Amino acid sequence: MPLNIPNLLSFFRIIAAPFLLVTGWFGMPTLFFILFGLMLLSDALDGIIARMLDQTSELGARLDSYGDILTYLTTPLAAWWLWPELIISEINYIIAAIIIYVLPAVFALFKFGKLASYHTWITKASAVLMGIGVVFLLGFENNLLFHIAIYFLVIEMVENIAITFILPAQKSNIHSIWHAWKERTGKGGK
């Protein structure tokens, strides 16, 4: 694995995910928020730094996607252990978010035999909304932004599935459905 800053930031999320579970299991909400915040920060910075340093790569896109998946899978479980009543009250939205997040991955696995790493603009906006929404939900018991983020996830899901249908082969870092269409028609995509 090329050791560069963006890959290390993504790798941090992969390594941190089990520790996020530990914070939940042992009832450490402050440490949960610190670790979750660092995971969100590393997610925000890895792509920016990769583009700034011209260190974008297929490996980097994959590491970022794996870090995202692990963050999205471990956060609800750790939150369940820390705030079970709150999670029960939001369970329909949480299950919806997990399904909405998993469906595009399933489509990509069936078509390409591997996970997609599109990193669309909508996906980036959705990640920011969801991160802030989770903090407001767990930290302040305010679910409005979390619910808005779930509805925004639907837009992300539709775009990611459409991109999977449009592209003839798996490709990382597709900014939008428009870029996917340009990629398919051979007119570039950047």
Q: Each residue of 53-83: pLDDT tens digit?
A: 999 998 999 999 999 999 999 999 999 999 9
**Chain-centroid distance, C-alpha 139:** 20
* pLDDT at res. 188: 61
**Chain-centroid distance, C-alpha 174:** 15
Helix (H) or strand (E) holding 102: helix 91-112
**Which CA distances in Å does 167 have to 106, 119, 120, 154?**
15, 14, 14, 20
* pLDDT at res. 190: 47
* pLDDT at res. 1: 57
**Which CA distances in Å does 8 have to 2, 59, 135, 142, 179?**
9, 11, 24, 33, 28
Provide φ and ψ at 164, rounded to 5°.
Answer: -60, -45
Lookup: tokens for 156: 């992300």
Which amino acid makes up residue 1? M
Q: Which residues of the chain have pLDDT under 50?
A: 189-190
- Residue whose structure tokens are 């042992």: 26
Q: For the chain, which residues make up each domain, given as ranges?
A: 1-82, 84-190
* pLDDT at res. 178: 96
Rg (CA), the chain: 17
d(CA 171, CA 152): 23
